[in-house]
Structure 1
Amino acid sequence: MGASASRGRDARVPAPEPEEALDLSRLPPELLMVVLSHVPPRTLLRRCRQVCRSWRALVDGQALWLLILTRDHGAAGRALLPLVRSRLPSVCDDKPCFLRRFCVGRPIGRNLIRNPCGQEGLRKWMVQHGGDGWVVEENRTSVPGAPSQTCFVTSFSWCRKKQVVDLEEEGLWPELLDSGWIEICVSDWWGARHDSGCMYRLLVQLLDANQTVLDRFSAVPDPIQQWNNNIYLQVTHVFSNIKMGVRFVSFEHRGQDTQFWAGHYGARMTNSSVIVRVRPS
């Protein structure tokens, strides 16, 4: 009877021994760098950099960020890596490496204009109101590739709007900007509502550190006439021979209607862009 009861009881399974956590501080610096290169860049800055002095030194140095860049096997990454290696940012003892901002912001190939379609109202733009001022409305005609189908709308007197892009703040550094191997592509969409014509102007300027104009592009297209089927047009330009010293891009456009009607019947603007690319070899 005792033997039968013994056979009926559940067998006790010994509890597993707790696994010992990997102590990364014991790793050689070269191996630790490889491990950290798999961590998302923002996590490296916000968390890993706070662990200890040795981790902070790795995160602030160039070697870790170069290792991260080598993992970008896309066409843009393959074109960019040799350029980055040949134009490494200056190392200053009192300043963190520019490469870390570059890897976090990834400024090559993305739109550096903030709030390009008015999805955040007028935020990020310096505005000058004319007539009844700027408003944001839904597009009456779809604009391809726009992050939002909304637009900025002008009134019966000239309305101006401007945004200045700080290229270094976005993650680019002087040696790269002055390399001669990048180009700056600008684009803007403008249009009218069907029952009112409009006028539009665009001015893009490349500025140095002191805000001196080094290059410029302006567009003064013919007005769109009334009864236009809610047309949208695109203006584009490529600054392909960037002069030494460019540090900012000033993007300014303005518009008004041709009927001089109260309200918001003027030029409609959306999907503005400033994009830095590596020049085709």
Structure 2
Amino acid sequence: MLEIHRKADSTEERYFHGKSMESIPVLTDAEGAKFWAEMPVLPLAVVEEVLLNVPPEEVVCVCRLVCREWQELVDSAPLWKEKCRRARFLPHDVTRPPADWQMFYFMSKKRHNLLKNPSAEEQFNGWQIVRNGGDRWSIQEVGENPLPDEMVKKFFVTSYHECKKLQLINLEREGYKPALLDRYQPEIHISDWYAPRWDCGCMYEICVELLNQKKQQWNEQQWHQMTHVFRDYGPGARFVRFCHGGNDTKFWAGWYGIRVTNSSVEVLPAGHARSTSPAETRPREMSPQKR
């Protein structure tokens, strides 16, 4: 019997957790010989076009095992560069292309917000309430001052004593293997939208992982975006602890404190293009990361 099984040596399997693919069907020697004898010899350009239309997991786990020529094609940068182009996965700086286009493709494809319920659509599900002072956390509807992302309809709002909530993100459970985090150290992008009221001062505070920042806003009401990117953070990163909150500064009963919504934590390949908006503001330089 001729047995062909997939090998766990692809980028997808070494560095990401995902759905396991079944082994390639077992063929007898006669069936295998007949298969290869009847298989037409295709120009590499045709093979490349076929691979560009096959799901990427099957490309690296199945197609790569067909023959040496296919293996070399699957491992080549041009194939994955073209896949990135068709999927519109573009590096932020086109003059500095990724060192590994296959890794760049899978990292970009896997991109998603690791925070659960970032915009209060599911009440407080997914959040751990750390401080619940004053009249406690509340949820309200976005009104006359919408965010750049018009899909965001709700926000969390703090009261007159300290209100904080957090999420602890397990990166390995989210599918990022330790080998990926330690060897490639992909960028971890942090984003949080906040806004004060027009009639009351408030304090905004955010602490993400080993990063601290406090910021006060007075009588402006517009939404601002706080962003940060962790780079070159060294081996050992396994969790992201995201905590934010604040309070108003006049101690008014009710919910006149800082408003927060549409938060995100994403793991991205180095140099990945980020979407921006005219309303985005640049935060002050953050304090150095602690080891």
* TM-score, length basis structure 1: 0.62
Query: What is the CA deviation profile of residues 34-69 of structure 1, one whole-angstrom value per residue up to 9, with x for unaligned ones?
Result: xxxxxxxxx966xx86xxxx5799xxxxx8583489
User: 1:99-118 to 2 correspondence within 5 Å?
Assistant: 108-118=110-120
2:184 to 157, 171, 180: 180
Q: State the distance in 2 between where 1:265 and 1:131 align.
A: 10
Question: What residue number does 1:256 align with?
Answer: 247
Tell me the C-alpha RMSD between the 2 structures.
3.7
1:133 to 120, 127, 136: 136
Question: What residue number does 1:121 align with?
Answer: 123
Quickly say closer, same or farther: Cα 1:107–1:193, change in 2 above 3 A.
farther
Question: What residue number does 2:261 align with?
Answer: 270
Contact 1:84 1:176 (8 Å CA) reproduced: no
Counterpart check, 1:74 vs 2:84? yes
Question: What residue number does 2:193 align with?
Answer: 189
Question: What residue number does 2:11 align with?
Answer: none
Question: What residue number does 1:171 align with?
Answer: 175
Q: State the distance in 2 between where 1:260 and 1:56 align.
A: 69
Cα offset for 1:139? 1.7
Question: What residue number does 2:228 align with?
Answer: 237
Cα offset for 1:148? 2.2
Matching residue's letter, 1:251 = F
1:83 to 97, 103, 110: 103
Partner-residue secondary structure (3-state), 2:60: helix
- Of residues 237-246 and 154-163 in structure 1, the stretch that sits farther from structure 2 once superposed is 237-246
Question: What residue number does 2:214 align with?
Answer: 220
Contact 1:108 1:275 (8 Å CA) reproduced: no
Q: State the distance in 2 between where 1:163 and 1:55 align.
A: 41
Quickly say closer, same or farther: Cα 1:55–1:82, change in 2 above 3 A.
closer
Query: What is the CA deviation profile of residues 71-123 of structure 1, one whole-angstrom value per residue up to 9, with x for unaligned ones?
Result: 971254995654389xxxxxxxxxxxxxxxx89xx874321111111111100
Q: State the distance in 2 between where 1:189 and 1:247 align.
A: 25
Matching residue's letter, 2:178 = P
Unaligned runs of 5+ residues in structure 2 are 7-17, 27-56, 64-73, 92-97, 273-291
Contact 2:24 2:62 (8 Å CA) reproduced: no
* TM-score, length basis structure 2: 0.60
Q: State the distance in 2 between where 1:244 and 1:129 align.
A: 35
Matching residue's letter, 2:214 = V
Partner-residue secondary structure (3-state), 1:74: helix
Query: What is the CA deviation profile of residues 206-255 of structure 1, one whole-angstrom value per residue up to 9, with x for unaligned ones?
Result: xxxxxxxxxx222211x2223x2x22121111111121010000000121
Q: State the distance in 2 between where 1:56 and 1:196 align.
A: 68
Q: State the distance in 2 between where 1:126 and 1:56 align.
A: 47
State the identity %: 34
Partner-residue secondary structure (3-state), 2:183: coil
User: 1:19-30 to 2 correspondence within 5 Å?
Assistant: none
Answer with 1 or 2: which has the greater Rg: 1
Contact 1:198 1:267 (8 Å CA) reproduced: yes
Quickly say closer, same or farther: Cα 1:66–1:202, change in 2 above 3 A.
same
Question: What residue number does 1:151 align with?
Answer: 155
Matching residue's letter, 2:125 = R
Q: State the distance in 2 between where 1:56 and 1:135 align.
A: 56
Matching residue's letter, 2:161 = S
Partner-residue secondary structure (3-state), 1:220: strand
Q: State the distance in 2 between where 1:250 and 1:56 align.
A: 44
Quickly say closer, same or farther: Cα 1:253–1:74, change in 2 above 3 A.
same
Q: State the distance in 2 between where 1:65 and 1:124 align.
A: 35
Q: State the distance in 1 between where 2:172 and 2:132 align.
A: 30
Partner-residue secondary structure (3-state), 2:103: helix
Matching residue's letter, 2:117 = N
